[in-house]
Structure 1
Amino acid sequence: MLFSLAVSNSWTLRQLDVHNAFLNGNLAETVYMKQPPGYEDPLHPDHVCHLQRSLYGLKQAPRAWFKRLHDFLVSTGFSSSKTDVSLFYYTLKSSRIFLLVYVDDIIMLGNDASLINDLLLRLSSVFKIRDLGTPSFFLGIETLTDGTGILLSQKRYMADILHRAGMSDCKPLATPASVTQPATPSLKPYENPTQYRRIVGALQYLTITRPDLSYAVNRLCQFMHSPTDNHWALLKRVLRYVKGSLEYGLRIVASPSTEIQAYSDSDWAGCPIDRKSTSGYAVFLGSNLVSWVSRKQRTVARSSTEAEYKGLADVSAEVTWIVSLLVELGLHSGKPATLWCDNLGATYLAANPVFHARTKHVEIDYHFVRDKVATGDLIVNFVSTRDQVADIFTKPLPAHRFQFLRDKLNVAAIQPYA
């Protein structure tokens, strides 16, 4: 979301790295350590060390480091976000600076380059920080710049997954899931379940920049406990699709609008094993995709309207969180978010104050969405199934339909400069 705002407003972006971050943390607890080999005191060989600072490997180390960084940032004028604990923001008149922290990797962005440099000097006076300039490789994600914006790519990571699976030279496919092959359990267990779990776990991290993989990876994750040969075949199909789309990533372009549009869809009773429905949603800030999910519902829905309404409740909660973050940062447009659903029954329920007996069992979800609509925070509109972007998160699709929706999600290859 912050990358979208940065590209749209031409903000300055900086990537920082803290050297030996955990050693900066002060321990609140009393911790003793044996004298390290080679550094024993010959006069007191039985003595132990009383630690003052956190060391790598201590349970308390990550928390101690984050508290030290948190306290310093607050003392310099930063505010800690109540919505996302890893985000700090600094406001001075019309200047806004944001700091995103992931352990010792930091991204700083804002609309005032001189203020960013000033804050960097303050950080460097206390911590040993390397200024890596414009983000290029952050947490395994490459930031590639072209003429229209930036592309978040995990090409190296994808190549590594294919290498680990022994499929670097496999033939590519156009879609990650077949429309004719349901994920049904077979009796023969896969001979190497550890390999299956390792590769599927790696694919989960790949969905950070590849929302088009969300449904296929979510389906594979449901069989982690006892994968079969059939599930391994499904996994290989996903890898063959990855092989054919190595150049693809999540595109973020300059967007004049900051309105929130969300698409919600559900595939009623789509799982042949337990007949639970699969829900998916896509949330756009302007024209950029900022949040998405593909998830099996926890309970069995008794109608397609109920399945769609549960999906609406999920996306309503996500949109509420995004709006609260934007309001906290002073970046919200003030306009209500629009939710698009392709089920007329669900859209009528969201606006209809009459509560029917046949919908009593979805009462909690009903009240949550209904209250948001009644207060004007959300607008629920109908969209045709053909234009339902979230369709890609709920079921396998034919190649032409899959590629059409993939483009709508801004998943694209890097564009050369004109």
Structure 2
Amino acid sequence: MRQLDVHNAFLNGHLSDTVFMKQPPGYEDPAHPDHVCHLQRSLYGLKQAPQAWFKRLHEFLITTGFLASKTDVSLFHYTDGDSRVFLLVYVDDIIMFGNDSALIDSLLQRLSSTFKIRDLGKPTFFLGIETLSEGGSFLLSQRRYMADVLSRAGMTDCKPLATPAAVTQPATPTLDLFDNPTQYRRIVGALQYLTITRPDLSFSVNRLCQFMHSPTQDHWGLLKRVLRYVKGTLDYGLRLSPSSSSAIHAFSDSDWAGCTIDRKSTSGYAVFLGSNLISWLSRKQRTVARSSSEAEYKGLADVAAEVTWVVSLLWELGLHTGQPATLWCDNLGATYLAANPVFHATTKHVEIDFHFVRDKVSSGKFVVNFVSTKDQLADIFTKPLPAPRFHTLRDKLNVDNIHPCA
């Protein structure tokens, strides 16, 4: 794995639009002071600059032999016999990895001949995420980012808590508005980025985001509880380990009418590739569900869409085994509904777009199985949980702490 940085990336883009600019101060043409510059290359500050840079990079990589992924536009892959190289782009930050170090060096040399590339070596700090190697596994950590969020909130020395959300709700919620809503929005927005490596925070952060428009003192209290949990788990991150299996299996769960304000349900899912968690979500459903089966079925539709995307990406990269993905649901009604083409009286009103789960099951691409509530890993994305249950599920999601040797 190699981390690359492109120096002055936006200046490499060629403009396809007609853009004029005033002569820069100190460089005016004395013979034609009223003339303007016709830009051929992009500059920082132009709205076309990011697109122009990516187009230039895309064209160069294609001529070099890379293939652009149709599933993820920021991913490119290169194949030479048994050698595979993948290149992932985020603006001017690039990660290149593969199974042939000589081929990587050769491709890096071609990149350096056209762009001013800085080779940062093995990735250690990429987009605020640390990559810590421990044996044969990686731990993706944002401990520096977490410390910065706590500092901005003035809670560096706060007392830690075991869970990010309380199981009990206040008997009489206050309607007093929080006196600094901008600070609330700023910190909650920062916590959203933290969920990239901390799936255990997804439910709590999603709930906080629902009150951005008008936070109250109670919402500020909920936010401080999440920060106190973050304080006690600064050394935690998402672990990725070698897996003997490359099968896809996903857990889907819903908390029926869990929101006391509008009675909408909260859905959550966790998608695993082998033993590694690769995708997760906690989100309130758009419509009110009339039954728990309907709420769970809507959750199945969400995870089915995500798994379809994951399968498409793996097929494109030649990494899919061809085995059907397994979806686990703890509601028998939703499980039967996914396999039974008969519309029951309680499901006639369900929107048609949710029924594409049936098409996937009937075509053999998905298998929907029942799992007991005790073994439902997505339970952590739908509701507050007691500390023992929360810690058990957190461990099963591969959220681990940094070992002392690291």
| TM bracket (short chain) | over 0.9
Q: Give the aligned partner of residue 39 of structure 1.
A: 27
Q: Give the aligned partner of residue 381 of structure 2.
A: 393
Q: 2:208 aligns with which of 211, 214, 220?
A: 220
**CA deviation vs aligned residue, 1:96-126 (integer Å, no higher than 9, x gap):** 1111000000011111111111111111110
Q: 1:207 aligns with which of 186, 195, 206?
A: 195
**Structure 2: stretches of 5+ with no match in the other structure:** none
After TM superposition, give the deviation of residue 357 of structure 1 in Å. 2.5
**CA deviation vs aligned residue, 1:163-214 (integer Å, no higher than 9, x gap):** 0000000000000000112699632111110000000000000000000000
Does 1:315 pair with 2:281?
Answer: no
**CA deviation vs aligned residue, 1:74-111 (integer Å, no higher than 9, x gap):** 11111111101011111122211111000000011111
Q: Map 1:267-286 onto structure 2 (within 5 A).
A: 267-286=255-274
Name which structure has the greater RCO, CA cutoff 8 Å, separation 6+: 1
Q: 2:337 aligns with which of 349, 371, 375?
A: 349
Does 1:164 pair with 2:177?
Answer: no
Does 1:246 pair with 2:205?
Answer: no
Say which SS state the counterpart of residue 164 (structure 2) adopts: coil
Q: TM-score, normalised by structure 1?
A: 0.95
Determine if contact 2:301/2:355 at 8 Å carries over to the other structure: no
**Structure 1: stretches of 5+ with no match in the other structure:** 1-12
Does 1:180 pair with 2:168?
Answer: yes
Q: Percent identity?
A: 80
Does 1:65 pair with 2:53?
Answer: yes
Say which SS state the counterpart of residue 250 (structure 1) adopts: strand
Cα distance in 2 between the residues matched to 1:111 and 1:355: 50
**CA deviation vs aligned residue, 1:215-264 (integer Å, no higher than 9, x gap):** 00000000001111111110000000000000000000111111001000
Q: Give the aligned partner of residue 374 of structure 1.
A: 362
Cα distance in 1 between the residues matched to 2:115 and 2:34: 34
CA 1:223–1:184 in 2, change beyond 3 Å: closer, same or farther? farther
Say which SS state the counterpart of residue 381 (structure 1) adopts: strand
Determine if contact 2:11/2:41 at 8 Å carries over to the other structure: yes
After TM superposition, give the deviation of residue 343 of structure 1 in Å. 0.5
Q: Give the aligned partner of residue 80 of structure 2.
A: 92
Determine if contact 2:76/2:88 at 8 Å carries over to the other structure: yes
Count of aligned positions: 406
Cα distance in 2 between the residues matched to 1:36 and 1:178: 58
Say which SS state the counterpart of residue 348 (structure 2) adopts: helix
After TM superposition, give the deviation of residue 416 of structure 1 in Å. 4.1
Cα distance in 2 between the residues matched to 1:140 and 1:80: 26
Q: Which moved more, 1:185-194 or 1:24-33?
A: 185-194
Q: Give the aligned partner of residue 218 of structure 2.
A: 230
Q: TM-score, normalised by structure 2?
A: 0.98
Q: 1:293 aligns with which of 274, 281, 284?
A: 281
Cα distance in 2 between the residues matched to 1:59 and 1:365: 36
Root mean square deviation, CA, Å = 1.4
Q: Give the aligned partner of residue 338 of structure 1.
A: 326
Cα distance in 2 between the residues matched to 1:170 and 1:38: 53
